[in-house]
Structure 1
Amino acid sequence: MSKFIYLDNAATTKAAPEVVEAMLPYFTEDYGNPSSVYEFAGKSREAVTKSRETIADALGAQANEIYFTAGGSEADNWALKATAEAYESKGKHIITTKIEHHAILHTAEYLEKKGYEVTYLDVDENGVVKLEELKKSIRPDTILISIMFANNEIGTIQPVKEIGEIAHANGILFHTDAVQAFGQIPIKVDEFHIDMLSASGHKLNGPKGIGFLYIRKGVKIRSFVHGGAQERKRRAGTENVPGIVGLGKAVERAMTSMGKRTAHEIEVRDYLIEKVLGEIPYTRLNGHRTNRLPNNINFSFQFIEGESLLIMLDMEGICGSSGSACTSGSLDPSHVLLAIGLPHEIAHGSLRLTLSEEITKEDMDYVADAIKRIVERLRSMSPLYEDFMKKHRK
Structure 2
Amino acid sequence: MRGGTTGHGAAPAAEAATDAARPTVPGPRAGDGTRPRTADTPALRPTAAPPGRPRVLLAPVTVTPSKPLTPSHLKGLLWTDVMYRATAHVADVTLRYSHTTYHPTEQTLGFWEFLDRHHPDLDPSTLDELELGALYVAFRSAGERVPAAALRPYADAVEHGWTHPAAARVLDIWTAQYAELGLHDPGLRAHQPPGLSTEAMIDRLGTLGMCLDQRPLGGPVLLDLTRHGVPLRTLIAPDGRPNYLACALRELLALAPEHDEVVLLYDSQLDPDYQRLARVVAALGPAVSRVPIGRVPIDGAIRSAREGGWRDHHAGTLLAATRSGHDPRAVRLGLRLYFIAVLGPGQAESFRPDLLHQCLGRAARLLAAARDDGQPPLAEQLTRHRRTRLHIDPYRLTTSLLGRHRRTPATDLLTGVFL
- TM exceeding 0.5: no
In the superposition, the TM-score normalised over structure 2's length comes to 0.25
In the superposition, the TM-score normalised over structure 1's length comes to 0.26
Q: Which has the higher strand share?
A: 1
